[in-house]
Chain A
């Protein structure tokens, strides 16, 4: 499998790769626990669309 066909997105917070289930609309970073909404510009390419929920200041500390 080539590097580009892996179903992953990069966490904008910790920059780790997050695996994404095919067609899934959500993904959670295994390292920092932040949840993201996912969209699919193509069936083999997931992309972060936004946050699942706003992060409260307390969580960010």
Chain B
């Protein structure tokens, strides 16, 4: 019977068609929990630096969170590898129903190396692993492929992680998907699967999941759910999903418009959360979640006919609405559908297209580069066309499919200023230059420009200083445009999110990622409560302080991976535009704001200090010793399985 503490790892060599099964060392669980944490260790331990991410030597790690299968929003599965987009650590997680099913099928971690001779999918069921032909699936979109696998297996409860045409075509930001909507979007893990000729990993288990103290687990989960339901956030998420955030951010003027030329779209009524309600035919969500945050929607499109899909999230709302200056519900819903089905990261795709339109508008490229297309803002047809071209690497799409770094090389260095990326991954759909905490978090994120590694959304609420001080353990201003103390806010959230990701919990449901109400209502968000949960689920005693140290260890390990690949302090800065151009629009509190380089340098220094890293962002020897991350320490940990 699988338990979180007695789990198994499968090491799969696709070239040799060989499988080796080991037990997850208890030390891994204690030090790295699961999911993202274990993935970081395996990648650091097994990969040599400078491996081509699209070569058979890259290592793909599918790792479920330690809490997978409990009756809470606990279904996150992490997918890790060296990123073909950035060359840094690749790591992305998604919800759905895959993770609990994988545990029931007998595995917590799947490590995949090599390259299959022909398109293949892995069928993992009740402790067995089978290599199956996938030539019949190659070319299918992400939903068709899942349906075809279910039909072939005669099992409609089987859960798959799949790639779409974008992954097959090695688009460097292809995602991995499960269900109709859940996507491990960032860092191009779908391209790594495609490079391995791996169309899908399918799991089905009939084994029970055993908890150390089942009654206590249930009590705690009930308490958590009750607390969650008391929050304002719960209602808003149930009705609008993450799209509700746009109403606030566009109102304030902190969204990207026309790539990054403006920060507020007006009018925007057709892309606001309320506008999607008439298209909604119900709600859907992940395993164990009382929120069920996504719309199921139907939309009629003259170009694509009748479409059914789920979502969109706030990210897609921004990418296909404000970033393109398109105030159209239909366009937003169709684009969301296209990227979902084709297996593209919505954010990277939107950002690359927005960049292309801006550099065309500025005369830095012309129709010769774009296959004769005249790129302009506000045109759904142009956006549809470009999404398809990227997924199939057709013409100009093949350039955009390469992601920021390589596309800039192809289109000329003059275009670089307009490409909003950090470490080679595009900035999100938000315009953050008025909010130093957000900028710092995005820039130091280990996987490239990203908010999900730390975003202190709480900074926007103007909470009392005393409250913030209690929460973060040091004086902190309530002013979100200030730099004061924000290194601690980012650092604190980084550690917390590393723990939450490694436990496999959903940030929306479990932390103050979005809402301070979860804190007011004493909802499940403290290390103390998490350690209680871990004890009841696994029987393992981990104190709150030890958990926080797990967060530090995971973050530092990811940093070490990147340093080994040549990333340094110079890669922790926002695009130059953030320092040069004041925000042209928005509420008085943000209008005219831009980043101050001197203040940012100081913020970065203070942030490194909190991590125990030197002024170049390199972990100090004493930090590595404290976290057990010396070369010998890591070798010993990795050696327990791969020695």
Does B bind A?
yes
A50 touches B251 (CB 8 A): yes
| Listed stretches B587-595, B604-612, B633-641; interface member | B587-595
**CB contact list, A22-44 vs B, under 8 A:** 32, 34, 36, 39, 41-42
Query: Bound state CA distance, A49 and B587, in angstroms?
Result: 14
Known: A13-B587, A47-B244, A49-B272. A42 touches B235 (CB 8 A): yes
Main secondary structure of the interface of B (DSSP, over half): helix
Q: Is B467 part of the binding interface, using a Cβ–Cβ cutoff of 8 Å?
A: no
Number of residues in B with C-beta < 8 Å to the partner?
33
B240 touches A48 (CB 8 A): no
Give chain A nearest CB distance to B601 CB in angstroms. 29
Q: Is B291 part of the binding interface, using a Cβ–Cβ cutoff of 8 Å?
A: no
Give chain B nearest CB distance to A39 CB in angstroms. 5
Known: A42-B235, A45-B235, A45-B236. A50 touches B247 (CB 8 A): yes
Give chain A nearest CB distance to B482 CB in angstroms. 13
Q: Is A1 part of the binding interface, using a Cβ–Cβ cutoff of 8 Å?
A: no
Known: A4-B232, A50-B272. A41 touches B588 (CB 8 A): no
B587 touches A12 (CB 8 A): yes
Q: Is B395 part of the binding interface, using a Cβ–Cβ cutoff of 8 Å?
A: no
Query: Bound state CA distance, A15 and B230, in angstroms?
Result: 23
Q: Which residue of B lies closest to A51 (CB)?
A: B251
Q: Which residue of A lies closest to B588 (CB)?
A: A60
Give chain A nearest CB distance to B446 CB in angstroms. 30
Q: Which residue of A lies closest to B478 (CB)?
A: A15
Query: Bound state CA distance, A13 and B593, in angstroms?
Result: 14
A13 touches B252 (CB 8 A): yes
Q: Is B642 part of the binding interface, using a Cβ–Cβ cutoff of 8 Å?
A: no
Q: Is B461 part of the binding interface, using a Cβ–Cβ cutoff of 8 Å?
A: yes
Query: Bound state CA distance, A13 and B588, in angstroms?
Result: 7
Query: Bound state CA distance, A9 and B183, in angstroms?
Result: 33
A51 touches B266 (CB 8 A): yes
A41 touches B589 (CB 8 A): no
Which chain A residues lie closer than 8 Å to B247 at the CB level? 39, 47-50
B residues near A (Cβ < 8 Å) are 230, 232, 235-236, 238-240, 244, 247-248, 250-252, 264, 266-269, 272-274, 460-462, 517, 520, 585-589, 591-592
What would be 5 A-B contacts, judged by CB atoms less than 8 Å apart? A4-B230, A13-B589, A42-B235, A42-B239, A51-B251
